Structures are given as structure tokens and as C-alpha cells.
Amino acid sequence: MNDVIGLAPWLIGIPLIGAAILLLGGKATDRWGHWLGVAASAASGVIGFILMFRMIGTPAEERSVDHHLWTWLSAGGLDVDLGLRLDPLSLVFVMLVTFVGTLIHVYSVAYMDHDPHRRRFFAYLNLFVAAMLTLVLADSYLLLFVGWEGVGLASYLLIGFWDTGRPSARENAVAAKKAFVMNRIGDMGLIAAMALLFAGTGALDFATTLSDDTLGSLSEGTATAIGLCLLLAACGKSAQFPLQAWLGDAMAGPTPVSALIHAATMVTAGVYLMVRSGPILEAAPTAQLVVVIVGAVTLLFGAVVGTAKDDIKKALAASTMSQIGYMMLAAGLGPAGYAFAIFHLLTHGFFKAGLFLGAGSVMHAMGDQTDMRRFGGLSRFLPITWITMGLGWLAILGIPPFSGFWSKDGIIEAAFIPVEGQPWRAWVFGTVAVLGAGITAFYMTRLFFMTFGGRRPRWTENQHPHEGSPLMWWPLVFLGVGSAALGLVLGVGGTFVTWLEPVVGHAEHHEPVLPVPVIITSTLVVVVLGALLAFRMYAMSLVPEEAPRGSFLTRAARRDLYQDAANETLVLKPAHGVARLLQVGDRDVVDRGWSLLPQVLSWFGAVFRKAQSGYVRSYAAGMAGGVLVIAVVAWLVVGLGGAQ
Amino acid sequence: MTEFVAPEIDWLALAPLIVVLGAGVVGVLIEAFVPEKVRRTTQIVLALAALAGAFAFIAVLWPQIVVQPVQVVGGSLTLTPFALGAQGIIAVLAFLGVLVVADRTTTGQDAFAPAASAVPGTPYEDLARRSGLEQTEIYPLLLFAVGGMMLFASTDDLIVMFIALEVLSLPLYVLCATARRRRLLSQEAAAKYFLLGAFASALFIFGVALIYGFAGTVRLLEIAQRVQQGLPLEGMSVLLVSGVLLVVVGLLFKVGAVPFHAWTPDVYTGAPTPITGFMAACTKVAAVAALVEVLYRISIGVGGVSPDIMRQLQIVIVVVAILTMVVGTVVGMVQTDVKRLLAYSSIAHAGFLLVGIAGFNAPVQSSTLFYLLAYGLATIGAFAVVTLVRERRITSGTGEDNGPVGEGEGVVLGEATEIAQWAGLGRKAPWLTAAFALFLLSMAGIPLTAGFIAKFGAFTGATTGGLWWLAVLGVLASVVAVAFYVRVLVVMVFQKAPDEPESTGTEAVEAGLSTGSTSEDAVPTSGGAVSAGAAATLTKVRVTSAQRIVVTVVRSRGPAAVAIAVCAIATVILGVFPSPVLGLVEQASKFVP
């Protein structure tokens, strides 16, 4: 391992240099800039592969290597060394980021073909890759924070990428700002966590802070506080309840961005943070429980919202939120859940990126239309997109043997494992996880069939859908194959779980409260029910004459129609109502709250601005008044303090 | 039998001051005797050489002072590592500042009025402009100010400190009044600065008198001793507390802390931009250094004897720190003018510095020095960039009304300081924008820039002093502050310039018009004459229907570009490899002053 470790800094360096060349090179690089971007990402991927192969050949206990880069700060008893940590966990992320990242780079070459600022787009993408790799390769919370801010910046730049010259320009700028503000809230959590950690342990690097000795010396209260602050950070970055509102709006960015940053990689950084900080959470059971609750709430929240969205990208965004909720839930379950959290993160990275790129392909074919009510019947026109998205659909539903099954089922089983002293937990969280799977099946099937199903298209005028260039569909094929097979390859025999064991520790085997086959079967039943319900409502009911068999079923279908109407009033309307309420609450309460903050601040600013009158006499009076006020305050505080 | 004992003077310790002030005197002679043609070059070379020489002497002195601080002329000059460090930083920043001042850019005009004494709008002013007069007295004035600052930061004697305060202030008042454009605004700024400065000086000297009444001495260390010996504290402590409070207020005025900050935005806006940069950076270093010395030396005496007085002192600093941070960041957010924005940023930074100082522990002195260096580099660099972004008046009639503007077309006017005008700068001048962005990020305290390490040090200082909640407030304020720096970045990089081909001619004219007047809250109405009078200055932008104003970036003749590059590189190096410099400044807190 040590002979190739010197390559590790280049993982970050190459895309960073790529971004620098593209940003500073100006128009001279317009012609070939996008290929430079692809090459930089791919080169990083190649280095990742080399490191991966070397690591596979290394004995398990030697797989975690810290590579010291330089001493950043050395002052007054504080030494901050910057270094990279290569271990099975960080390498999984390196592979995900560079592989999916490179595919999305390639896709973007075609997708952004007509954009005058394509070069800048690739510069930001490279910047993102570099920052994301910094985040996952950091060997201390401090360097992690650098990457954390870096991905935030790249995300902000890319969400607002179309903030000029488009009808939606203003909304895009607003969306970018919203993401920025909410991420700052999360960042404050990370800063606070670092401050507490430093106060408690005197260090910020993983090797020291996460060792048993150090954590043993922390009080449980401190550990809980640190854990909750870390959770706040994770909520901001990963769009978890209650900081989830920005993700839907972030879809204003170009679709490849949604696929790479807001589905596959950046938004999962919170899960990485939770798993990486696992030892701290384990020292703080309360914080762990909160993590699980946040995961469970977001899981349902995202899923319910997903059923009500008609915009294909927003539906997928809600789904991302919900799936990350699964990962958070798993990350809060301790060693039994970590491996599955990361496993699901990996498979989700593939199938969700594939679904987003597929959505991009559909939008590309339909003239940037995103409303699913204006799709329909596209399977014949976009066969490759249809098949690859179909694979992603089966994967996210968790149908065996597609990849989502292996990871999501692991999470559901882990959720059913009983916790000593709190028997309710296994039942509550297990049920939520199964229920979520059912709703997921419903909304994904709805999305899939509203887009591709039905013979009667609901297109707007003058649509001539066709597949994009091979640059667009080859990445789809790769991701589709990944969605189909990745779980099987890594899941059978627990390969992936064993791979992560050196980092997350060996999980003691506990029996879930229900037998495993029962869990699997009941999950599948719920999933199939959800999918069937959606299929009936969105694939069949629009065109009831096309019921596959006989007149009896036609009549049944007709009755189903009545039932649909009943469903509409009894189930769907309330569900939609709830969803709408959530949306409204989201928009009117949460959003307004966020936008109120700057307003209050600027009001305050305006008041002070009035005081800046320009009159010397009032300035001098202000100074004299200031002297008095300060004197009085000093007197009062000390006087009162003395009286006590 | 009394014998006359000649005082022993350590001339080497005085050398940095002598070089700078001596060069100032020589500069005055140059004005009188050197022919006009080479006068400017001579002045610039002399000023730069003097500052470099002073820095060389400081470097020579450093190893010696670090081992054993010296007192010269009975403590009038007290060189501790901290004081010498402050002197060194002042010398470096002043050197960079002079580079910016010296740059005439490709327009061939510097930022100063041809004849600063001419009444704006008079025929004499016109004459002076047409005959190409130049005011080279600014260089000796700068040197005097630098000399005053260096002394200000390194004395133990309150009277000497007062003299240094005046020596540094008076040239600055004059310099503020010398702007080539918007002359009334500039003169008004100078008058305000002078009046309020005089007010602050009066408070300062009154405070010194009260302290003298208490202790019978004006030497800080002796005052501390008197307190420790337990002079009749009962009843008399009012004298001490009020005295120290007034002295501190006088210093806080120079630092630009709320509620003594009101001059800052107006003066920063009115003064010629290179002077603003110099003043914002160097004055702050000197004033903060002096503040630290006064506070920390007094606290040695007070700390053990009277915890109550100590707490009062600390509370004053804490209250001012909070006010300063809050007002600086919040009011900064609603600014629409780059120079005003940087002024509020400078106020906010004063607050962050005070957060560290309020911790009252020795290591803070080191981190304060680092902070001042980091802040000074970013400030001089940022103002240098502002000097290069100009308005250009295009007189149309050639038929190509709204087409792209060629290099050298039209007349280059003053600086385009409206933030909205900076839209699209990223495309026009990517390197300049990158440098400016870097300075803003450093001010915002983003990791891997010098500003981050600086803020980290300041907040650590507060936590070690037991004021962790103040540090938390500081972190919150700096998070808010990020917003206003990023706002400028967004405008520069992502917004399209209004004069880019898509826009119509009328819009461009309007954009130009709005900048002809001063920013909304700057409407300078003291005496009531200025707003109306501004119309009469030679620099008033008159836009007729046949003309339009576009924003352009003029090229530096070299010095300013060098200064920007040095500031940018230093900002990055201090952010990424701060260890050597941190090691140096760490020695500054070895001796409690």
C-alpha cells in the first residue's frame, strides 16, 4: 500500500488543476475545455482504481493508511497536520465519485452542448470532484470541513448556473441562495461540533478523536452534544428533516448536476459524516436515537412528498431525500447499520444517478419539459432511456436481484434488530422502513409509467422525441448495468460488509424481532402492492379500454374507475392534502422563516444606515453618548455582580 | 556634587523610526530643491527605500529584542517583541501602500488632485489640472504618518503616545482631502475626520490627565506599579477607571470600533482610494497595537489588586467588541458601494480583533499581530483593486452607439465604486477579479486563506480567556459576514455587465448616472452645501444623451499590480503554510509588555 500512497494527493490535485485551468484559461479553452474536464475526472478515477487494487491485495488490518501532507498550523500547543486517510470507506467514496462523476462528465458534454458557458460548467464540475474527494479523504475534521465548504460552494455555483438569460433565471438564483443559506446552518453545526471536540479532546484528527482512549475520557453529555451538532451538519448537507427544503429547489440546476451532486454524491456526505463519526455516536446513545428518528421522519416525509410531485426532477429529489433517510436511519443503528448505510449509498449513487440522467434524457427529448403529465408513451421513442430507467426503477423498488434489494433489505433487517431496554424501537423503525418501501414503490412506479407508459401521449405541440447522442446514452447504459448488477456482485456472501469491517467494526450478530424470511417477504409484498396500486392508477386508468384481458376485466377496470374516484376522495385526496399541507407548510412556514432572517437583518442595517447621517455633530454626539453608555454598563454589571 | 550624565541612547533601537521620519524630512527638502521633472520619482524611491530600510533595521533588531526588550530615553520608546512586530507589520504594509499610491495607471493620472488647495470648481483648479501639476508632498506626508504609527505602537509613555497619535493623524487628515475626483466629498471627509479626531484626542488627553491625577505618572508600567502598591484605591479608583476609559475610547476611535466608528465609512469613501487602503491597514495596526499595550500593561497592575476594576475594563472591551461586530456585519450587508462595504468590513474586523483582546491573556498578542498582518494584506490588496476599476465616458455620434467599447476609447473617469457596476468584472479582468475574490475570502475567514488562521487565533484567545460565549458570538457574526462578501463575489462573477452588448443605451446611461452621485447614505450634507455643490466640481459626471458611461478596468503601470500580486500570494501562503510566520509572531507574546 505504501508504495502507491504518494498518488493519493493527485486524486484531488488533478481535478483541482483542471478546474483552475478552465477558470483562468478563459475563452482560449472553450474549444477543448470540456474534454479536459472529462480527462481530469477520469484520471482521478484511474488513480482510484490503482489504489483500490493495491488495497485489495493488502491484509485487512493494514488497509487504513494515514498519509501526512504537511503541518498546517503549529501554534501554542495546537498542532494541525493535514493528511489524507485511505481506508476501505474512503476508497468506496473515491470509486463512486470518480466513476459516476466521470460518466456524468461525459454525459454533460452532450447535454450542455448548446450552452455558451459549457467550459465554466466543467470547471465547476471538476471543482466539485476535487472538493468531494477532499471531504472523503480528509484525515481530520478540519480538512473534512474544507471539502465540506468546497462542495457547498460548487453546489451553489452549479444550482445557480442558469441564473442569467433564462426565463427561470430569478428562481434559479433564489434556489441557489436558499441552498446556500440552509447549508450555512448545517455548517454552523459542524463548526460547533469541531469546537466541542477540540475542547473535549484537544485534537481534530480522526486517529486521535475517534480512538477508544479519547472517547472514554469524554463525558456522555459532551459526546451527545457533539453528536447532535454533527447531525445538524449532516441534516443541512443531506437535506434531512428539518433542513430538507432546499433540495427540491436545487433541481433548478442543470440535470447532470442534480444527478452528480444532488443525488449520487454530495447529499450523501452527511451519511459519510455519521458513519465516519460512528464511535462518537456510539458513545452517545441519545444522539444515536435522534439520528434514527431524523432518518425515519425524512424517509416518510420524502416518500409522501414524492407521491404528489408532477415535476419529474422534483419527484426524484423527494425520492433522494427519502432514500438518504434510509441511510441515516441505518447510520444511527450502530455497527449493524453502518455497512448497509454505505452499501445503500453506493447502490443508490448508481441507480439514482441513472434515473436522473434518464430524466435528463427525457427532458432533452421533450424540449426541457419536466411535467410528467405532459409525457406518456415514451418507451417506444426512447428505448435506451426506457430500459435503463427501468433497471433503476426495479433497483430502487428493491426487487431481487437488482441492486437496491441487497442494500435496502439489509437496512430494513437492521432496523428490526431489538435494542436492549427499548423494545419499541425495533417495531417502530422496522415498520416505518417497510412502509417507506411501499410508498417508494408507489411513487416510483407512478413516475415510471406516467413517463413511459400508455399509448396515448399527453405531449405538448410539436414534440419529436428521440434519443440523444451516444455520449448521452452510454453513461445511461453503464449506470443501468450498475443498478442491475452491483448489489448482486457486492451483496452475495457479504463481500461489501466484510470490506468495510476494518473501518466500521464487526457487528455482533443479533436476531431481528421477526425471522428474516418473514421480513423479506412482507417487504416484497408491500412493495408489490404499492407498485400495483400505482400501476393501476397511472398506467391503466388513463386508458381503461386497453385492459389486457377480456370483458370481465374491462368491467372490473370500470369499477376500478369508480373505486379510483373513491380512492381519490378517501385516500388520495387526504394523502395529497397531507402532501400539499407539507408542501405548503414547507413553503409558507419554513421558507418564509428563512427569508425573514435576511429581512430582519437588512431592516436592522437600514436603521443603522439612518444613523449614518453625515453630520459631524451627530457623530460626535454618538461618541459622547457611547462613552456614557459604556461607562454606565461597566458600572452596572460590576455593581450588580458585586452585590451578589 | 551633581554631575551631568549624558543620557545613553540605544540608537539602533531608534533606527527604524529615525530612518522613516528622517526620510520624511528629506522629502520636504526634495520638494524645495529637486527639479520638478524628477521630483516624483525621487520621492517614490526615497519613500520605498526608507520603508525597506526601516524594515531591515527591524529585522536586525528582532533577535536582540526577542531575548531582552529595551527601553530607550526613559521608556519613551519601549521595544518589546510585540511592539517591534507591530512596527515591522506597519513597515511592510506601508511599503505595499506606497506602491499603490505611486501607481498612475495607463491613464497617466494618479489619484490625487493637481492642486489640493484649490477651491473645487474655480478657474485656478482648472488651470492646475491643465498645466499638469502634481502633488508630490503626499510621499513625505505618508512617511510622517508611518513614523507616527510606528512610535504609537511602541511607547510606554502616555504623553509620547499622544504625540505619536497627533503625528500619525495630522498627515492623514491632509491626505484625505487630496482626492482628484469628487473633491468636495474628499474635503468633507477630511474635515469630519479632523473634527472627530480632535474630539477623540481631547478625550484621550483628558484621560491621561485623570490617570496622572491618580498615579502621579504617565508611564504605563509605573501606573501599574502604583496600583499594585495599593495607593489609596478607595475613592480614588474613580480617577483611574474614568481615565483609562477615556484613553481607551481615544484609541478605540482610531481602531474604528462602535460606537466610535461613525467617521469610518464617510472618510474611507471620501479619501483617495490608495490612501484609504493605506489608512485602513496601517492605522489599524498602530491603533490596535497601542490599545493592546495600554490595556495589558494596566491590567498587570489592576488584575491582582482590584478584580472589580479589571472586570469593568473587560466589560468595556466585550461590549464594544459585540457592538462592533454586529454593526459592522449587519450594516455592511446593506451597502451598495464597494468602498463603504470595505469600510464596514474594516469595522467588523475591529470587532473580531477586540474579541481576542478581551480574553486578556498573553498569547493573544501573537494572534493579534497575525490578524493585523492578514487583515492589512487583504485590505491594501482590495483597495488597490478598487483603484483600477473605473468609469469610462463614451461620447457617441460615431454611429456605433451600443457596440462593444474598444481599448482607449472615450475618457476614463473616476472609480466605479457602485457594487452593481462591478457586474461582469470576472469576464473583463479575470485575474483582477480572482485577486479581489481572494481578498474577500480572506476577510471572510475561509480556510486556506490567511484570514481563517487569523480569526481562529482571535477566537481561541477569547476562549482561553474564559469568554467562550463571546467567541461563539464572533463565529456567528463572521458567518453572517460571509454573506456580504459573497454578495460582491456573485455580482462580479455571475452577473452580466449592464454595458455588455445586450443592454440598451438608455440603461447604460442610467447606470452611469446613478453612480455620478454618491451612494444613498453617503449624501454628505454637513454644512448643507455639498450635495448642491458637488455639481460644480470638475469631476462631476455629466452625462448627456449622446454620452454613456461604461465600466472599464485600467491597466496598472506596475507598482499597484506588484502590490496586488504580493498581497494575494502572501494571503495564500499565510493561509496554507502559516507555520513560519506563526512561529515568528509567537515570540511576540514572550514578554508581557
Per-residue confidence band for B290, with pLDDT thresholds at 50, 70 and 90: very high
Percent of chain B whose pLDDT exceeds 90:
46
* CA distances in angstroms from B84 to A634, B142, B583, listed in the order given: 33, 20, 15
Question: What residues of B are in contact with residue A623 (Cβ under 8 Å)?
Answer: 196, 199-200, 203, 249, 253, 259-260, 262
pLDDT at residue B340, rounded to an integer: 92
Does B316 sit within 8 Å of A627, measured CB to CB?
no
Which whole number is the average pLDDT over B433-445? 93
**Residue A515 confidence (pLDDT) above 60:** yes
Least confident span in A330-339, A468-477, A601-610: A601-610
Least confident span in A307-321, B311-325, B356-370: A307-321
Strand order in the sheet with B411-415: B411-415, B389-395, B547-553
- Of A146, A625, A633, which is closest to B315 when you measure between CB atoms? A633
In chain B, count of helices (H) and strands (E)? 23, 5
Whether residue B206 lies within 8 A of chain A, CB to CB, comes out as no
Whether residue A247 lies within 8 A of chain B, CB to CB, comes out as no
pLDDT at residue A482, rounded to an integer: 86
Query: Rounded mean pLDDT of chain A?
Result: 80
Per-residue confidence band for A472, with pLDDT thresholds at 50, 70 and 90: confident
- Report the candidate in B364, B257, B247 with the shortest Cα–Cα distance to residue B298: B247
Question: Which residue would you say has higher pLDDT here, B466 or B286?
Answer: B286
**Residue A549 confidence (pLDDT) above 80:** no
Does A71 sit within 8 Å of B453, measured CB to CB?
no
pLDDT at residue A128, rounded to an integer: 92
Would you say A540 and A547 are in contact if contact means Cβ atoms under 8 Å apart? yes
Question: Which residue would you say has higher pLDDT here, B272 or B181?
Answer: B272
Least confident span in A84-88, A276-280, A322-326, B127-131: B127-131
pLDDT at residue A635, rounded to an integer: 78
Query: Rounded mean pLDDT of chain B?
Result: 84
pLDDT at residue B399, rounded to an integer: 43
pLDDT digits (tens, 9 = 90+) for A10-68: 888 899 999 888 887 777 778 888 888 899 999 999 999 888 888 888 887 777 788 88
A45: its cell numbers: 478515477
pLDDT digits (tens, 9 = 90+) for A188-209: 889 889 888 888 887 888 888 8
pLDDT at residue A167, rounded to an integer: 67
Question: What residues of B are in contact with residue A182 (Cβ under 8 Å)?
Answer: none
Least confident span in A435-439, B142-146, B327-331, B400-404: B400-404
pLDDT digits (tens, 9 = 90+) for A378-410: 778 888 888 899 999 999 998 888 888 888 888
**Residue B354 confidence (pLDDT) above 90:** yes
Least confident span in A58-67, A495-504, A559-568, B29-38: A559-568
Tell me, rounded to whole angstroms, the distance of Cα B36 from its chain centroid.
Answer: 30
Q: How far is B459 from chain A (nearest CA, A)?
A: 11
- Report the candidate in B188, B184, B206, B207 with the shortest Cα–Cα distance to residue B196: B188
pLDDT at residue A542, rounded to an integer: 54
Per-residue confidence band for A572, with pLDDT thresholds at 50, 70 and 90: very low
Nearest residue on chain B to A24, alpha-carbon basis: B430
Question: Which residue would you say has higher pLDDT here, A526 or B121?
Answer: A526
Q: Please report which helix (H) or strand (E) contains residue A569, including its range.
A: none
Q: How far apart are CA B480 and CA B220, in angstroms?
A: 38
Question: Which residue would you say has higher pLDDT here, B321 or A118?
Answer: B321
pLDDT at residue A462, rounded to an integer: 73
Would you say A403 and A350 are in contact if contact means Cβ atoms under 8 Å apart? yes
pLDDT at residue A577, rounded to an integer: 58
Q: How far apart are CA A157 and CA A155, in angstroms?
A: 5
Q: How far apart are CA B389 and CA B425, in angstroms?
A: 9
pLDDT digits (tens, 9 = 90+) for B525-560: 333 333 333 333 434 445 555 677 888 888 888 899
For chain B, domain boundaries: 11-400+408-519+543-589
pLDDT at residue A335, rounded to an integer: 84
pLDDT at residue B539, rounded to an integer: 42
pLDDT at residue B554, rounded to an integer: 86
Size of interface A-B (CB pairs under 8 A): 154
- Of B266, B446, B583, which is closest to A614 when you measure between CB atoms? B266
CA angle B333, B283, B473 (to 5 degrees): 40
Per-residue confidence band for B55, with pLDDT thresholds at 50, 70 and 90: very high
Question: What residues of A are in contact with residue B523 (Cβ under 8 Å)?
Answer: 614
Does A609 sit within 8 Å of B521, measured CB to CB?
yes
pLDDT digits (tens, 9 = 90+) for A610-641: 777 778 888 888 888 888 888 888 777 766 55
Orientation angle between helical segments B158-176 and B284-305, nearest 10 degrees: 150
Backbone angles phi, psi at A505, to 5 degrees: 85, 160
Q: Please report which helix (H) or strand (E) contains residue A76, including its range.
A: none
pLDDT digits (tens, 9 = 90+) for B323-349: 999 889 888 888 889 999 999 999 999
State the greatest distance between any 2 C-alpha atoms of chain A, in Å, as a whole number. 94
Percent of chain B whose pLDDT exceeds 70:
87
Which whole number is the average pLDDT over B489-505? 65
Whether residue B572 lies within 8 A of chain A, CB to CB, comes out as no
pLDDT at residue A263, rounded to an integer: 83
pLDDT at residue A571, rounded to an integer: 41
pLDDT digits (tens, 9 = 90+) for B303-317: 777 777 888 888 889
Which whole number is the average pLDDT over B51-65? 94
Which whole number is the average pLDDT over A68-72? 77
Which whole number is the average pLDDT over B408-414? 76
pLDDT at residue B318, rounded to an integer: 92
Which whole number is the average pLDDT over A571-580? 52
Whether residue B347 lies within 8 A of chain A, CB to CB, comes out as no
Nearest residue on chain B to A625, alpha-carbon basis: B259
SS3 of A297-310: the string is: HHHHHHHHHHHHCC
B106 by Cβ neighbours in 10 Å (0-12 / 13-18 / 19+) ranks as: middle
A496 by Cβ neighbours in 10 Å (0-12 / 13-18 / 19+) ranks as: buried
Question: What residues of B are in contact with residue A70 (Cβ under 8 Å)?
Answer: 577
Which whole number is the average pLDDT over B363-387? 93
pLDDT digits (tens, 9 = 90+) for B219-262: 998 888 888 877 665 667 788 888 999 999 999 999 999 889 98
Does B315 sit within 8 Å of A611, measured CB to CB?
no
pLDDT at residue B393, rounded to an integer: 82
**Residue A322 confidence (pLDDT) above 70:** yes
Q: How far apart are CA B178 and CA B192, in angstroms?
A: 14
Question: Which residue would you say has higher pLDDT here, B584 or B408?
Answer: B584
- Chain A stretch 181-220, residues whose beta carbon is closer than 8 A to a beta carbon of chain B: 184, 187-188, 191, 195, 199
* CA distances in angstroms from B496 to A30, B29, B351, B400, B515, listed in the order given: 19, 50, 34, 21, 17
* CA distances in angstroms from B65 to A299, A452, B8, B70, B83, listed in the order given: 64, 80, 18, 7, 10
pLDDT at residue B313, rounded to an integer: 86
- Report the candidate in B345, B516, B267 with the shortest Cα–Cα distance to residue A614: B267
Q: Which residue has the cell 449587519?
A: B330
